[in-house]
């Protein structure tokens, strides 16, 4: 049996936080954000959603991009730094 990733589902909320708007809060220079952090904005989940809700949306994205019978999945991997709660 061969193991490996065959597809990935993703979902990002529409709401964004702009790192450049937060320069003063964290006492950072724009060059630090651009050169060290490397991204100018972050996706922000709605307050009423938990990480598991984001997983469901990513699963739906996966099924939309790569239709498959759910019974064929032997293992699904979820990686998050933000558990529910």
Residues with Cβ within 8 Å of residue 3, at least 6 apart in sequence = none
Residue 34 near residue 8 (C-beta atoms within 8 A): no
* Average pLDDT of the segment spanning 32-49: 91
Averaged pLDDT score across all residues of the chain? 89
| Model confidence, pTM | 0.73
The CB-based long-range contact list for 42-49 (8 Å cut-off, 24+ gap) reads 42/16, 42/17, 43/12, 43/13, 43/15, 43/16, 44/13, 44/15, 44/16, 44/17, 45/13, 45/15, 46/13, 46/15, 49/13
85 has a pLDDT exceeding 80: no
pLDDT in tens, 2-16: 777 888 999 999 999
């Amino acid at each position: 049996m061969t193991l490996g990733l065959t597809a990935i589902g993703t979902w990002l909320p529409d709401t964004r936080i702009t790192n450049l708007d937060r320069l003063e809060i964290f006492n950072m220079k724009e060059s630090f954000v651009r050169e060290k952090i490397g991204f100018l904005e972050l996706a922000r989940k709605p307050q009423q959603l938990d990480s598991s809700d984001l997983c469901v949306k990513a699963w739906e994205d996966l099924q939309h991009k790569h239709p498959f019978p759910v019974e064929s999945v032997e293992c699904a991997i979820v990686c998050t730094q933000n558990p529910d709660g």
